[in-house]
Each structure stands twice: as structure tokens, then as C-alpha cells.
Structure 1
Amino acid sequence: MSDTPEQEQDFELIDGAERKSSTSDSFEAVDEKKNGSQSVSENEDDNADKSAKEEDDEVEEEMKLPFVDQSIKDDANRPKEKDGEDLVEEALKAPIRPDQEQFYTAEHSNRAITLLIAFSAMMFTLPLLVMASLYYWVFIDHFHLPPAEAMLYAGVCAALVVILIAAAFCYIAWKEEKDAEDKLRAEKKKE
């Protein structure tokens, strides 16, 4: 092959050595694959199957990139894990156990929602009211503390109010559950 001026454009000089450009390399690889697939004879079917498998393996190896996590393909074959919505839906469809039926009446649901709303409102408003009133009327007006120190003490008192509200909610929930268990035991004794 003689180098024509058009073909010389496909070569690059790097440190005095000639190197083919990436485009000419890819064309040669395609030509080799064409010639390799056309040169198989009919008598060599077994060899053709083996070479086809080898080519498939080579293609798969070429597709595997060293910097890509190959477990992504494995993730597609994995069964779908349940997310939060699936778990909630499954829990809602689950049958109610006989010992738990007492907790799922309309009266109990209304009481639970009312308590949730009431305690949520208290958690927001009471600490703010306590903090503001203690800051202005007690720590500044009565004790004449500097504003930074008065704000610190008012903030601590507001945090204590939050803890007391949470403790009251826990106590009420525990008391309701205990009363329901006592009621269930009494019903079982009557039977």
C-alpha cells in the first residue's frame, strides 16, 4: 500500500513515530469482523458455533467497563423490595386480630385523632408562650437579667415544657392501652 496524500491525513506523528488515528483503527476492526464471518465454510458448523459464542463473549467483555459496577445488571434480576407504601398497604389489608378489635372502633379512632391534634397544637403554642412570657415578664421585668441570659433561661424553660407535653402524651397513651387491656381481661373472665 502506498500512502497517498489523503491517507496521510489519517496518520499522526507523535515523537517521530507514526500512529493511526482512532477512526482508521475502528474501520479496520469492522473489516476484520466482516472477513472473519464470511470465511466460515459450511463444513465447519461446530467451529462456527464456537466462534460465535467466543464473539458473544468478546462482545460482553467489551461491554464491561472497568469503572462501571457490574452489579447494576444483577439489580434488574432481583425481586422488587417492598418500600414504605407497600408495607403500609399490606398492613391496612391485614386482618385484625380478635384481641386487637377493641382498638379499632370509631370511638377509639376519633379519640386518637383528637388527642393527636390537641397535643400537636400544644407542642407548638405552649413552648412559645412560655418562652415569651418568662423572657419579658419574669426574667427581664422581675429579675432584671441581661437579655442574653434571660433568653437562655426562657429557652431552657420552653424545652422543659416540650418534654412535659411529650411525657403527658406518653402517659395518656399508656393509660388508654392499660385500660383497654383491663377491659379485655374482664370480658374474658365473664366468658
Structure 2
Amino acid sequence: MGTAATAPTFRDATDTDVDALVALIESAYRGDSSRAGWTTEADILQGQRTDPEGVLAVIKSPESRLLTAECDGRLVACCQLEHRGEHAYFGMFAVSPTQQGAGLGKVVMAQAERVARETWGVTEMHMTVISVREDLIAWYQRRGYRRTGRMTPFPYGDERFGIPQRDDLQFELLVKQLA
């Protein structure tokens, strides 16, 4: 898959990153470009994954951070961290399809966990994953996340989250204890 690049530099996203972040997130999950990586949702969801308003809301929220990773001056990955009391929520995770498979995702996730612990003193990281994404859930399990079996419905009919290509989509909560 991807080739190992120089170690990424991390920073919080700013307003000027919105368009690049939307393009990165869309490229990782939707359409033909996403098929270059293994995280594509193109077969289960069409339409958009996010929009400029959604990305900007995360950047502006006092309880959230949108962490970006750059290699050689290029935005290659991002993730949302949101402080929710005793835990942090991990979302909006995207790695450029051409960078997938080279270990960048693991590095970004480790940095996100470190930032959440150091910034908010949380002891758990939570995330939700579409339950039919067995390959992705297995990847998270290898990083120490456990399945909870706690499901929430997919927002059918709200095209801000995509246009489902099947009728059995739901989100499962995954949890990891942070040391």
C-alpha cells in the first residue's frame, strides 16, 4: 500500500485548513479515490462524509480539537478529539489513501490518545464505527479498543452523513482504557 514518509508533524487545525481537511476526509472514505486505501466506505455509503460546516464546527468548539498530521508540508491525516467528561471521543479519523498501510494511522492514533490524556486527564477513549466494517473494527482491536456491543442507529435520511447503500447500518461503541 502506502510508503513510509518522514515522521509526521502534528498541530491543531485552523479555519484555513477546512477545505483541505474536507478533501482529505472525502478522499479516505468516498468515491473512487478512496479505493486506493483500505478504509473506503464507497460500497456501503455514497454522497458526502463531511462538509465544511461540520469540520469548522469541530475546529471552533471549545471542547474539541481537530488534530492534523503533515508530512513534507502536506496534510496526510486528521482526527477529532472531543472532551466528554471522564472520556474523550475519537472521530473524523482520516488518513490519505496513498499513505494507508504504512503505519501512519497507528502513529496518529497514539498521538491522539496522548493528547487526550495530557490535555483533559481522561482515562478512556471512545469511538463509534459502522458495525459492518469488520476489517476496520479488527484494526482498532489490535490497537487496544474493545467492542461493547452498544449500538446506535445510523442517521438514515440525513444526507450529511452519506447515502446508505444497504439497510443494516448502525454504529458500535468501541472503548479503550488509557494508561
TM range (shorter): under 0.3
Say which one has the larger Rg: 1
Higher helix share: 1
Higher strand share: 2
**TM-score, normalised via structure 1 length:** 0.21
Q: Which has the higher contact order (CA 8 A, sep 6+)?
A: 2
